Amino acid sequence: MIPSHVLAAGTAPMLATAIVGGCASGLTAVGNAQANALQLPSSNNLLSGAAGAGTGAKLPKCEAGAEVWLRNDGGNPVAIYPFEPAGVTIAGAASFAVGNTKTCCFKALSDTYWAPMLSS
């Protein structure tokens, strides 16, 4: 979906952002655990930095149907964690690795399960 097309149809700007999703770039992965990882601020995120190997980012609250995109251009693989400290998994695990120069879409298939789709 293209934001300008949604706006051209007469949709209010805030509603268009809610429908299409926002974008955040220039992000840097930090921390080494769910508790101190970078909180991803948008539905479309570009990591352009990683504070070091093993740093990470955190998805938003898991809600069935939610979708979050992440591109990692940060120079190091990053660990992606669910927002919730317990009870929510990413493909059945507590975290998911996204390598450098990889793109991943995380789709919430329920309120407790994120399904990742990783680029090759």
Side-chain-side CA neighbours of 44 within 13 Å: the count stands at: 9
pLDDT score, position 1 = 58
Which residues lie below 8 Å from residue 99, measured CB to CB, with a gap of 6+?
72, 77
The residue length of the chain stands at: 120
pLDDT score, position 11 = 77
pTM value? 0.87
Residue whose structure tokens are 């570009």: 46
Tell me yes or no: is domain 24-118 CATH 3.40.1390.10: no
DSSP one-letter code for 98: E
Contact yes or no for 68/96 (Cβ under 8 A): no
Averaged pLDDT, groups of 10, the chain, 120 residues long: 70 72 92 96 95 92 96 95 96 96 98 96
Side-chain-side CA neighbours of 105 within 13 Å: the count stands at: 7
